[in-house]
């Protein structure tokens, strides 16, 4: 192989890699359906139970393929407008079909059974990032 040919190869490889990188970036920005879930626990719920529930929720992405992204956290807001919700989870799906696979999924249903008895209140708000 001549140096010139190899030089072409270097340029081609670099261009291909940049193209792939941009593709990955676009993929990350594809519209998704965000499923925002807020929990308020019943007074007296054991901290260990709350921890177990957060852990069980965070384990769902490994059990349900339809989940393409997952985040959660406890409230750290400073405006006193939480309406009593203390734990927030954002489950992301590709689209409504993903959510339709998630809601009745046995792993999700098991989770609902685990958390249900401990909730004083729950809020669910879904939006599509296409807007």
Q: Does 48 bind its own copies (CB under 8 A)?
A: no
| Region near its own copies per CB under 8 A, out of 42-50, 59-67, 69-77 | 69-77
Owner of token pair 């809601």? 103
Cα radius of gyration rounded to whole Å, the chain: 21
Which of 19, 21, 59, 65 contacts its own copies by CB under 8 A? Answer: 21
Closest approach, Cβ 63 to its own copies, in A, equals 19
Choice between 120 and 124, CB closer to its own copies = 124
User: Rule CB under 8 A: is residue 75 a binding residue for its own copies?
Assistant: yes
Beta-ladder partners of 127 = 34
In whole angstroms, what is the distance from residue 49 CA to residue 70 CA? Answer: 21
Could you tell me the strand order of the sheet in which 67-74 lies? 67-74, 87-93, 33-41, 119-128
d(CA 38, CA 14): 45
Residues interacting with its own copies, by CB under 8 A? 1-3, 6-7, 9-10, 13-14, 17-18, 20-21, 24-25, 28, 33-36, 38, 54, 71-79, 81-83, 85, 88, 90, 96, 99, 103, 122-131
């Amino acid at each position: 192989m001549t140096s010139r040919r190899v030089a072409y190869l270097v340029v081609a490889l670099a261009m291909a890699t940049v193209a792939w990188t941009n593709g990955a970036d676009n993929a990350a920005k594809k519209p998704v359906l965000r499923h925002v879930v807020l929990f308020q626990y019943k007074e007296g719920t054991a901290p260990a139970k709350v921890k177990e529930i957060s852990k069980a929720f965070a384990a769902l992405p490994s059990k349900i393929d339809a989940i393409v992204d997952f985040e959660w956290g406890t409230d750290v807001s400073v405006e006193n407008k939480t309406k009593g919700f203390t734990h927030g989870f954002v489950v992301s799906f590709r689209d409504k079909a993903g959510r339709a696979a998630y809601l009745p999924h046995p792993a999700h249903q098991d989770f609902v059974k685990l958390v249900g008895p401990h909730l004083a209140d729950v809020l669910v708000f879904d939006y599509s990032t296409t807007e």
